[in-house]
Amino acid sequence: MTSDINTLLFDLDGTLINTNELIISSYLHTLEKYFPGKYQRDDVLPFMGPTLHQAFASVDPERVEEMVADYRAFNIAQHDALVKEFPGVYQTMKTLMEKGYKLGVVTTKKFDVAMKGLRLLKLDPFFEVVIAMDHVKKFKPEPEPILTALEQFGSTPAEAIMVGDNYHDILGGKNAGTLTAGVAWSIKGRDYIAQYEPDYILEQMPDLLTILGV
């Protein structure tokens, strides 16, 4: 019953903010340096969702730290130019906050970079809790980051929905015991997110208001 829901947790990249071009460009820039001519746009889509260390370890376990450093340097330099907003996100968050919902972000990004994106799109005032990779030992789809956010809110899993664009978000929510909502604007497509059987699929962010009866 969504009437019991008082806490909404959101993934950041690809869910709240459109960092798709930034992430793809950052991966392609980095991989081109280490593996010239080997990686194209479609090749890096599977890297979206895991942590940078997990993604680069699958490519070259010996040079992970170097590649992560190069990725982050490019990503920060290009951040404000390439990050865009998703339609309806700002107004939906504003409405939810005004209605008294607890709003949090659970991301595999570093905290400072996550806040950079939230501030750029003026979303930061809406989120009381932001759990980043700095704050946990295990990442989505492990339940730790979601449960950590809920603990800070004083909420139970039964009172929460985890919203995201990747299987890590949906399985993370299921593993933590929350309801889950997948977003159809995932760069990997609606069918991709649907196969993980979230409780809801949002065609656009304002759909959340309908689900909650706001």
Task: Tell whether 61 and 27 lie within a shared domain.
Answer: yes
Catalytic residues: 11
Q: Select from 82, 117, 133 the last residue of a domain.
A: 82
Domain of residue 8: give its range.
2-18+84-212
CB 133 within 8 A of CB 113: no
Task: Tell whether 12 and 92 lie within a shared domain.
Answer: yes
Task: Tell whether 76 and 101 lie within a shared domain.
Answer: no
Could you give the C-alpha distances from 130 to 77, 205, 209, in angstroms and in order?
23, 19, 21
Task: Tell whether 34 and 135 lie within a shared domain.
Answer: no
Could you give the C-alpha distances from 201 to 31, 69, 107, 167, in angstroms and in order?
33, 35, 19, 13
Q: Which amino acid is at 57?
A: A
On the question of pLDDT at 64 being above 90, the answer is yes
Q: What is the mean pLDDT of the chain?
A: 95
Task: Tell whether 165 and 202 lie within a shared domain.
Answer: yes
User: pLDDT value at position 84?
Assistant: 95
Task: Tell whether 27 and 7 lie within a shared domain.
Answer: no
CB 10 within 8 A of CB 178: no
Q: Select from 82, 115, 131 the last residue of a domain.
A: 82
Q: Using 50, 70 and 90 to split pLDDT, how confident is the model at 48?
A: confident
What order of strands is seen across the sheet that includes strand 200-202?
129-131, 102-106, 7-10, 160-164, 179-183, 200-202
On the question of pLDDT at 46 being above 80, the answer is yes
For helices 20-34 and 64-82, angle between their N-to-C axes, nearest 10 degrees? 140
pLDDT tens figures, 74-88: 999 999 999 999 999
On the question of pLDDT at 1 being above 60, the answer is no
Domain with 111 in it: what CATH number?
Answer: 3.40.50.1000
Instruction: Please count the structural domains in the chain.
Output: 2
